[in-house]
Amino acid sequence: IKKIGVLTSGGDAPGMNAAIRAVARTCAYHQIECVGIYRGYQGLIEGDFEDLSARSVRNIINRGGTFLKSARSQEFKTKEGRAKAHEQLIKNQIDALVLIGGDGTFTGGMLFNEEYNFPIIGIPGTIDNDIDGTMYTLGYDTALNTVVDAIDRIRDTASSHDRLFFIEVMGRDCGHIALNAGLGAGAEEILIPEANRGLEQLLESLERSRNTGKSSSIVVVAEGDKTGKSVFQLAEYVEENLPNYDIRVSVLGHMQRGGAPTCFDRVLASRMGVKAVESLMEGKSNYMVGMIKDEIVITPIVDAIKGKSSVDSDLMRVCEIMST
Ligand code: F6P
């Protein structure tokens, strides 16, 4: 392998810059050329490339977002789009791709690999932590800390005013952010898609905690929860069914995706970047790099994109005990 291209695609995540840096520096270390591809697959189709040296990725390990920019390309979903992308790779003599992103990125990459037998390797970058084959995706730890910090702040005002807050967090169809940040921030209730316990139980448990003397409460709601109600409808429902609650709603939104990556995410990104390049050098393709029990491993992409099948039931039990 003489030249590797690297791109970020899908929703950005803190730690993506650190991963690009790791890829570029590992390439430099092994005397392989490295090319940064702007705007994900769209930039690949359009040939929006820039050579990356070890020095051109300086001062980015600490920066949130992705300096290569990210996009969700519709054109790459078409056969014609992928053909253009392939032409660009041939024209620019790029031998392999490192794809940093989530399941959409990997699905596209896998299809491309199938059609052109082009070597690819994935690095999981998404705050959702919804990818199998790794215990942690890049950006997840940073997002958890951001969410905990936001909830701590909301708790201050909630307790000053004896209020009940519904706080919606990201995670797409997954409850990992809600469950872990909720536990970390001491939420009274956590609603996640993986375990819909129903609205009756929510009312009961809020009443129970009020009766035990709690004057303010935090309910963390995963955006993909399965109650069938939006966070605003949930708040209205509780307001209608439980009298004398002063309720507010807060949707944390995209602030969860920004900010400087935590040390954990920077280290993870660096380790994953090295493994991605060295796996390609060993002739491995169609894999995703991940971390399992503190070891950096690779998993066939096809297995990684199946998604995490469940949340940790032990963790859910801890949450239940903590909300007593
Ligand atoms: O996948 C990351 C994520 O932030 C999800 O948690 C969220 O559902 C989605 O992306 C939001 O996407 P967009 O930035 O396109 O609004």
DSSP 31-55: T-EEEEETTHHHHHHHT-EEE--TG
Contact between residue 200 and residue 227 where contact means Cβ atoms under 8 Å apart: no
The annotation status of 103 as a binding-site residue, yes or no, is yes
Compute CA distances 128 → 11, 217, 265, whole Å: 10, 25, 14
Contact between residue 1 and residue 26 where contact means Cβ atoms under 8 Å apart: no
The annotation status of 197 as a binding-site residue, yes or no, is no
Q: What is the pLDDT of residue 196?
A: 87
User: Whose CA is closest to atom 1 on ligand 1?
Assistant: 11
- Among 176, 257, 305, 308, name the best residue to mutate to test ligand 1's pocket (greatest count of ligand atoms within 8 A of Cβ): 257
Q: What is the pLDDT of residue 100?
A: 98
Q: Whole-prediction pTM value?
A: 0.97
The annotation status of 105 as a binding-site residue, yes or no, is yes
The annotation status of 23 as a binding-site residue, yes or no, is yes
End-to-end CA distance of the chain, in Å? Answer: 57
CA distance 164 to 146: 21
Residue showing tokens 């790779």: 89
Q: What is the pLDDT of residue 216?
A: 85
CB under 6 Å to ligand 1: residues?
11, 102, 126-128, 170-172, 223, 257
Atom of ligand 1 nearest to the CA of 170: 6
Atom of ligand 1 nearest to the CA of 72: 15
Contact between residue 127 and residue 13 where contact means Cβ atoms under 8 Å apart: yes
pLDDT means per 10 residues, the chain with 324 residues, are 98 98 98 98 98 97 98 96 98 98 96 98 97 97 98 96 97 96 96 92 91 90 95 96 94 98 98 98 98 97 86 89 86
Q: Is 128 a catalytic residue?
A: yes
Q: What is the pLDDT of residue 308?
A: 77
How far does the centroid of ligand 1 lie from the alpha carbon of residue 215, in Å? Answer: 33
Active site residue: 51, 95, 128, 130, which one? 128
CA distance 240 to 256: 30
DSSP-derived secondary structure for 99-147: EEE-HHHHHHHHHHHHHH---EEEEEB-TT---TT-S--BTHHHHHHHH
